[in-house]
Amino acid sequence: MLELATQSLLTPAGIDSGDIERALGRLVEGRIDLGDLYFQHRQNEGWSLEDGIVKSGSFSIDQGVGVRAISGTGTGFAYADAISMPALMQAAGNARAIARAGASGATAVTRPVHAPALYAADNPVEAADSASKVDLLRTIDAYTRSLDARITQVSVSLSCQHESILVAASDGTLAGDVRPLIRLDVRVIAEQGDRRESGNAGGGGRYALAGLMAPESWQKFADEAVRQALVNLEAVDAPAGFMKVVLGPGWPGVLLHEAIGHGLEGDFHRKGISAFSGRMGERIATEHCTVVDDGTLAERRGSLSIDDEGTPGARNVLIEDGRLTGLMQDKLNARAMGVAPTGNGRRESFAHLPLPRMTNTYMLPGEHAPEEIIASVDDGIYAVNFNGGQVDITSGKFVFVASEAYRIKNGKLGAPIKGATLIGNGPDVLTRVAMVGNDLELDSGVGVCGKEGQGVPVGVGQPTLRIDGLTVGGTQ
Amino acid sequence: MSQVMNRDIEAGSPLLRDAESERAMLEDAAARVLARARAGGADAAEVSVSSSHGRNVTVRLGEIDVLEDARDRGVSVTVYINRASGSASTGDLGAESLERAVDQALAIARHTQPDPAGGLAPAELMASRIEDFDQWHPRELDMASLIERAKLIEQAGMDADARIENSEGASVSADAAIGIYANSHGFVGNGRSTRFGQSCVLVARDASGMQRDWDWDDQGRFEALADPGITGRKAAERAVRRLGARSAPSGRTPVLFDNSVALGLVRHLVGAVSGGNLYRRSSFLLDTVGKQLFPEWVRIDEEPHLPGGARSSSFDSEGVATRQQPLIEAGVLRRYVLGSYSARKLGLQTTGNAGGVRNLVFSPGTKNFEELVVEMGRGLVVTEVMGQGVNLVTGDYSRGASGFWVEDGRIAYPVEEITIAGNLGEMFSGLIAAGSDLETRRNIQVPSLLVDGMTVAGQA
């Protein structure tokens, strides 16, 4: 990986290891605790179909180098949108404005990081030609329209990304990664009488494009989008109030991402502003709950061989049998808290600063069959699909928005209900988990997490869960 | 520190020092792109080129947290061959990289399918005059003065109340941007603007727990920014007043959206009457031009030529002349929000809204916020909403919320962990009153809005 990244990022610009050390040396003149250089080259290709025609396609190349200098918990940051020695040296000069005046530092990149290959060795931009990508979208459109006469609009989009990154840091780190990322989305509108509803489904990951182009992959997304829209045509008004909620497996794990995941990111703990601050080792969930953040899963959307600071991706146990056991850290916050980085230092691009971020966050399975969990609820809702969520780290309040849900009465599923926001409190929601299913699923690969204006791809997952009390934001 | 900074960062910004030559360079890049597209077989082409320089400092608990120097350039091109289109973009304005971007766009256009609605906006609609709307007030600010200002803001907030015990920091930013749009009709438009911002996020604590809130300002002129002490103290006041928040009674009640949250309601309106959602039949407001959506007293105007306006411009993002025009008049929707593409899809004329609305102004009412609280009597004041629970296809609205419960025309206590739900169509027609407190710092300017009959859900 490091060799490949070096070839695609540094060799074309004529930058060698001596130049890297020279730039790091300039960066750490003065009192700097850590300096790093982040080289990135990213290709994006997108195709989209609407009204039966592939009407737009786009291609972009972004490359540049981000330069960071850390002194204590202060960061100086600059970047250049070209990879060249003059641009690199100028950015290094700007970034070290954070430094207090002092002696010149010497630095050497002596610690090459070798990480396992977790992704397909495939550049999805080049793995198939444009004509076959266009054909794929048209085939999906025809298939989707054939599923039900009530489908009046279909849109399909395919995006392919391929990036190379290289990190060199004054702590000796030298690491590279080559990351593919693909995604396919199908969105439909269904109409019946005067009702109109939408449905959408999609997925992807860091796997070979051929996997996504295979009919057994995309047909699932098309079938699911249509099914959802048709279910929503029948949906009745959602209830309002505090009640038992059963969450389906897979993507509803967005609950974990919002309710506890963000609150366990190291920066919020270093600053003491998380609702979970100071609670390490305490019971924050029922004993049924074990939650991990795992960047090492093969080919998943949130996976990382190395993070954006050159730390190898890792499997970190956040909650074990109900107790808070781990936080997610980048280098700055780990150093300030006197712990090791955990492989969660991520950035949207060279033009953004690294932050502690999630990778793939999920709960391990329990022992109950999902049917048994639904049958145990007298009055509540069963929510199987979500749009996304949001959290206030400090108060702990979080929301996530159901897009497909059903009423449960006397242990039986009733009518589908309209989309509704569910709201709860992070520090106590997992203390209300009464049953955990044996059906762990990870999501299909569509998550984008936003923090401080930076979006990064993530994964979530969980088994079926019964939560004894969330506020459901319906109208009835 | 200042010694290092004098040598490096304060070398200054070419974009601020010499905006004219930067603009000339961008125009040259745009011309090269169009020439290459034509030579490569495009029937038509359009290009946007931009350059920006920003400085941002964040101070936390009196110490520097982040110093950021951001310089970005970018170009994006769309070409049309027999009404099939292709787009490409790059961050590198070198000649070779521009040529590669155009070639990529051309290659894509050979694979996409002809789109009868595709192509440039009609030549006769291009803006004929590019006016200056007083948006360029360059000011070279060194990092040291930005840091000092951020420290003043944060310190004022920390000192304002003993319950302010932590901070996420105070930030001050200075940004300048120049943009060019050109197309193969021969249209070349340029715009430039400066923005200065400051914000502060503070954490209050008492026996009930922690609460966080913030205050901000954003202006085209540095001198117009609020006094640092005001921003810090308001952030403190807002965080402290949330302490002790609890749930609210469930049921149907009126809801008073403060002017920051009310802005969202107007954004949902704009989304639902925007061409893209209309031709995709993804809106609950299909076929509503000429229909009464709001009570008769509601008026919303688009004012793209406001002096100093955040998004003022003589032309939209495809060169079409913008004009002052109502969106809602006497509660009736006068028009959709269209660019030329969606206009062709709908068989209508563009409204000069490619790239969205410019400045929208919701005509304010006469009562101030406190008087609206009195008018509501009993109900919910919403100061923050959470989550994406807005379905523009159906108008269904369900959000997490926090704010204040009102009894007897007075704020009784702060509330959180509740939801508010309704349908946007009913919320629009159920508007009771607009406040006099128009929020003028945003490009969509909205006062506080009082809405009848939403469903509140909580644990109480």
Please tell me which residue of chain A has the smallest CA distance to B80: A56
pLDDT at B9: 39
Do A220 and A333 belong to one domain?
no
Q: What is the mean pLDDT of residues B16-33?
A: 93
CB contact under 8 A, A387 and B388: yes
Please tell me which residue of chain B has the smallest CA distance to A243: B459
Judge whether A351 is closer than 8 Å to chain B, CB to CB: yes
Question: What secondary structure letter does DSSP report for B246?
Answer: B
Do A288 and A216 belong to one domain?
no
Judge whether B330 is closer than 8 Å to chain A, CB to CB: no
Residue listed under structure tokens 């190379």: A164
* CATH code of A134's domain: 3.30.2290.10
Do A262 and A220 belong to one domain?
no
Please tell me which residue of chain B has the smallest CA distance to A64: B91
In contact, B172 and B57? CB cutoff 8 Å: yes
Nearest-angstrom CA–CA distance, B18 and B178: 11
Question: What secondary structure letter does DSSP report for B137?
Answer: -
What domains lie within chain B, and their CATH numbers? Answer: 13-240 (3.30.2290.10), 245-460 (no CATH)
Helix, strand, coil share (%) of chain A residues, nearest 5? 25, 40, 35
Chain A positions in Cβ-Cβ contact with residue B67 (cut-off 8 Å): 74-77, 97-98
Among A50, A94, A476, select the one facing B8 at the smallest CB separation. A94
The segments of chain A whose pLDDT lies below 50 read: 101-104
Chain B positions in Cβ-Cβ contact with residue A238 (cut-off 8 Å): 398, 421
**pTM score:** 0.94
Checking if the pLDDT of B292 tops 70, the result is yes
Nearest-angstrom CA–CA distance, B397 and B424: 6
- Domain edge (last residue) among A208, A233, A258: A233
Chain A window 276-335: which residues touch B at a Cβ cutoff of 8 Å?
A: none
Chain A positions in Cβ-Cβ contact with residue B9 (cut-off 8 Å): 93-94, 97
Chain A positions in Cβ-Cβ contact with residue B64 (cut-off 8 Å): 74, 98
Distance (Å) of CA B413 to CA A262, B130, B310: 28, 51, 36
- Tell me the residue ranges of DSSP E strands in A269-378: 291-294, 315-320, 323-324, 345-346, 355-356, 360-363
Q: Which two tokens stand for residue A5?
A: 């990244």
At A123 the three-state DSSP class reads: coil
Nearest-angstrom CA–CA distance, A419 and A392: 22
Distance (Å) of CA A12 to CA A85, A179, A197, B203, B364: 12, 19, 51, 48, 59
pLDDT at A107: 65
Checking if the pLDDT of B10 tops 60, the result is no
Do A197 and A299 belong to one domain?
no
pLDDT at B6: 30
CB contact under 8 A, B457 and A351: no
Nearest-angstrom CA–CA distance, B30 and B48: 7
For helices B143-160 and B228-240, give the axis angle rounded to 10 degrees. 40
Secondary structure of B139-198 in HEC code, one letter for each residue: CCCCHHHHHHHHHHHHHHHHHHCCCEEEEEEEEEEEEEEEEEEEECCCCEEEEEEEEEEE
Nearest-angstrom CA–CA distance, B177 and B53: 7
Among B143, B166, B421, select the one facing A473 at the smallest CB separation. B421
Which DSSP string corresponds to A384-398? EEEEEEEE-TTT-EE
Cα-to-chain-centroid distance, residue A76 = 26
Among B209, B250, B388, select the one facing A401 at the smallest CB separation. B388
Q: How many other β-carbons are positioned within 10 Å of the β-carbon of residue A177?
A: 25
- Domain edge (last residue) among A233, A267, A287: A233
Residue listed under structure tokens 């003149």: A29
Closest by CA to A238, choosing from A1, A2, A474, A454, is: A474
Nearest-angstrom CA–CA distance, B389 and A403: 9
CB contact under 8 A, A131 and B70: no
Checking if the pLDDT of B1 tops 50, the result is no
Among B76, B86, B203, select the one facing A394 at the smallest CB separation. B203
Do A266 and A367 belong to one domain?
yes
Do A221 and A249 belong to one domain?
no
Using one digit for the tens of pLDDT, what is the confidence trace for B80-127?
999 999 999 999 899 999 999 999 999 999 999 999 999 999 999 999
Label residue A436 left, alpha or beta by phi (over 0 means left) and psi (-120 to 50 means alpha): beta
CB contact under 8 A, B111 and A57: yes
Judge whether B108 is closer than 8 Å to chain A, CB to CB: yes
In contact, B59 and B169? CB cutoff 8 Å: yes
At B268 the three-state DSSP class reads: helix
Do A105 and A19 belong to one domain?
yes
pLDDT at A82: 84
Chain B positions in Cβ-Cβ contact with residue A72 (cut-off 8 Å): 63
Q: How many other β-carbons are positioned within 10 Å of the β-carbon of residue B76?
A: 18
User: Mean pLDDT, chain B, as a whole number?
Assistant: 94
Radius of gyration of chain A (CA): 24
Residue A294 identity (one-letter amino acid): D
Checking if the pLDDT of B5 tops 60, the result is no
- Tell me the residue ranges of DSSP E strands in B331-395: 332-333, 360-362, 379-386
In contact, B76 and B50? CB cutoff 8 Å: no
Nearest-angstrom CA–CA distance, A7 and A14: 10
Do A390 and A258 belong to one domain?
yes
Residues 6 or more apart whose CB falls under 8 angstroms from that of A418 comprise: A232, A235, A236, A237, A238, A474, B394, B396
Please tell me which residue of chain B has the smallest CA distance to A60: B89
- Domain edge (last residue) among A182, A201, A233: A233
CB contact under 8 A, A97 and B391: no
CB contact under 8 A, A72 and B63: yes
- Tell me the residue ranges of DSSP E strands in B298-367: 300-302, 325-329, 332-333, 360-362
Say whether the ipTM exceeds 0.90.
yes
Do A229 and A118 belong to one domain?
yes
Among A94, A238, A401, select the one facing B387 at the smallest CB separation. A401
Nearest-angstrom CA–CA distance, B56 and B64: 11
CB contact under 8 A, A423 and B280: no
pLDDT at B142: 85
Judge whether A472 is closer than 8 Å to chain B, CB to CB: yes
Among B112, B387, B394, select the one facing A57 at the smallest CB separation. B112
Residue of B398, B454, B456 to mutate, testing the A interface (most A Cβ within 10 Å of its Cβ): B398
Q: What is the mean pLDDT of residues B357-375?
A: 97
Among A134, A153, A421, select the one facing B111 at the smallest CB separation. A134
pLDDT tier for residue B12 given thresholds of 50, 70 and 90 = low
- H-type alpha helices, B361-435: 369-376, 424-429
Do A73 and A205 belong to one domain?
yes
Nearest-angstrom CA–CA distance, B376 and B374: 5
Q: Which two tokens stand for residue B303?
A: 């004012």
Q: Which two tokens stand for residue B326?
A: 């109502």
Range of the domain at A224: 2-233
Chain A positions in Cβ-Cβ contact with residue B88 (cut-off 8 Å): 58-60
Chain A positions in Cβ-Cβ contact with residue B420 (cut-off 8 Å): 473
The torsion defined by the Cα of A206, A207, A211 and A212, in degrees rounded to 10, comes to 10
pLDDT at A99: 66
Q: Which two tokens stand for residue B425?
A: 């169509």
Chain B window 401-420: which residues touch A at a Cβ cutoff of 8 Å?
A: 402, 416-420
* Total domain count, chain A: 2
Chain B window 57-86: which residues touch A at a Cβ cutoff of 8 Å?
A: 60, 63-73, 76, 85-86
Burial (Cβ within 10 Å: 0-12, 13-18, ≥19) of residue A393: buried
CB contact under 8 A, B387 and A101: no
Do A247 and A387 belong to one domain?
yes
CB contact under 8 A, B108 and A57: yes
Closest by CA to A201, choosing from A176, A213, A177, A218, is: A218
Q: How many other β-carbons are positioned within 10 Å of the β-carbon of residue B62?
A: 12
Question: What secondary structure letter does DSSP report for A31?
Answer: B
Among A54, A388, A471, select the one facing B417 at the smallest CB separation. A471
The angle formed by the CA atoms of residues A215, A216 and A219, to the nearest 5 degrees, is 70
CB-based burial, B143-161: b 16+ in 10 Å, e otherwise: bbebbebbbbbbbbbbebb
Please tell me which residue of chain A has the smallest CA distance to B72: A81
Judge whether A395 is closer than 8 Å to chain B, CB to CB: yes
Do A229 and A245 belong to one domain?
no
By DSSP bridging, strand B84-90 and strand A323-324 are unpaired
Nearest-angstrom CA–CA distance, A456 and A355: 11
CB contact under 8 A, B89 and A60: yes
Q: How many residues does chain A have?
A: 476
Please tell me which residue of chain B has the smallest CA distance to A469: B459
The torsion defined by the Cα of B246, B249, B253 and B255, in degrees rounded to 10, comes to 10
Cα-to-chain-centroid distance, residue B167 = 26
pLDDT at B378: 97
Chain B window 159-198: which residues touch A at a Cβ cutoff of 8 Å?
A: 166, 168
At A80 the three-state DSSP class reads: strand
